[in-house]
Amino acid sequence: MTSLFFTLFFLLRPDYVWVAVRPAPLPNRPTLLPMKRSLQLLVLSALSLSGSAGLAAPASGPAFYGDAPDANHPWAIHDRNRPQPKRVEPGTYSTAAQPGKPPSDAIVLFDGTAASLAKWESDPKPGEAATPTKWIINDGALECVPKSGYIRTKEEFGDCQLHIEWAAPKDVKGDSQGRGNSGVFLMGRAEVQVLDNYDNPTYSDGFAASVYGINPPLANALRAPGEFQVYDIVFRRPVHKDGKLVDPGYITVFCNGVLVQDATPLEGPGGHLKRSIPVEFPAKGPLKLQDHGNPVRFRNIWYRPLPPRAVEGGTEGVLTAEATAAKRSRIATDIRADAATLQSTAQMLRLAESLVYAPDPATLKRVDSLATAYATEVGALAGGALEAKKEEAKSVRRAFAYLGKSKVISADYAPRVALDRIALANNWDEVKK
């Protein structure tokens, strides 16, 4: 049997400290218990030592708290059942001499090694087979061999956070588009321009860090030729449904830490001379780097996949009514499975919590039975026994009030009315001066 060691978390609230109690080391759902500032612990229930049946993370925070879910939002405000963010160990920043370290969940595409060079191949014409890239590793960087052709990753991916660093030749040759030119093609389509524009004017929508042929950068944040420039890009592809555009997609770019593309709509893939028009993108595609005849170098290339948006089946943000109802049903099912591991008052409250997300006649019947028995039990108490039950009963009343506000129970719900009468008779709601 697991030892009963507990982890306590404190959330300060007027008149109460909310305490989450969780058996350790099992990743179990904490049960939230109100506790007077005198630190007299009110234990609402015996704690279950089994893991939560379906919830992605332990519940954390008070139940029956923020605004309830609605037609387009499956979660309550400050919802304790909402999954915790995953832990990502941050990387380190690059210096002029040394590339930084990617975050722990990054997928590395090039890190200066021969093994990472093998992740790239030539970008052949349609119908031709890809061959090993002719680009080379030069002092830890991936260097374009002029006239050898574009290269692409063997791996394909879609929406992402992309990090890539590049350096134009230190020895300046050419001007405008003929100086340190290359390009970063997300999914092989949308281009973020690479160009030595340090004291080198050109047309604005072909400037370094432009979305080529679509939108100029907000600023010229380039370092001198020969120094590595850092692009951090957030890419969202266009989304079509039934042949109609439902999300144009966008690109956000930071150049050397300076915002230069602010969620720029794609308007298609962009391109040279011709105005871009919206087209369907595949779900995934390779990352391509351009050979424009200049020995541009690249290093420290990695990406992090992004979760799907609501318009493509994601479950965060503003959802359709259908998607919201389906998500709320799943949340309710998980909470009810968790409630099955509990007993008595704790089970009643957990089951009642599930009804905030989705109705269920059998669950409501079980809650009604437990709530009626609870109100009867409290009503039979007097003196010291009632005083000992007071804080727990007040917590149950707050839960009933929330359920009433959320239209789960009616204003004349019998157990709620019974507890209100007990509170009134014993001056539980009297404000202390």
Residue 375's nearest CA partner among 414, 328, 339, 428 is 414
Strands 120-122 and 244-247: unpaired
Question: Is residue 47 classed as helix, strand or coil in its secondary structure?
Answer: coil
Neighbouring C-beta atoms of residue 60, cutoff 10 Å: 17
Res 19: pLDDT: 38
Mean pLDDT by 10 residues, the chain (433 residues): 37 37 37 36 32 53 94 96 95 93 98 97 94 96 97 98 97 89 96 95 95 96 97 96 91 98 88 78 96 97 96 89 96 97 96 97 97 97 96 96 96 96 92 58
Residue pLDDT, tens place only, 329-388: 999 999 999 999 999 999 999 999 999 999 999 999 999 999 999 999 999 999 999 999
211, with CB counted inside 10 A (0-12, 13-18, 19+), is buried
The full set of domain ranges for the chain reads 46-85+315-425, 107-311
| Architecture of the 107-311 domain | Sandwich (2.60)
Res 49: pLDDT: 29
* Residue 247 dihedral angles phi and psi, to the nearest 5°: -155, 120
Q: At 355, which helix (H) or strand (E)?
A: helix 344-355
Which residues have a Cβ under 8 Å from the Cβ of 41 and sit 6 or more positions away? 19, 33, 35
Kindly write down the DSSP assignment for every residue of 113-135, as one continuous string.
SHHHHTTEEE-PPTTSPP-B---
Which residues have a Cβ under 8 Å from the Cβ of 227 and sit 6 or more positions away? 96, 167
What is the maximal distance between C-alpha atoms in the chain? 93
pTM above 0.85, yes or no: no
Res 97: pLDDT: 87
Q: At 392, which helix (H) or strand (E)?
A: helix 383-405
DSSP bridge pairs for 141: 138
Res 37: pLDDT: 36
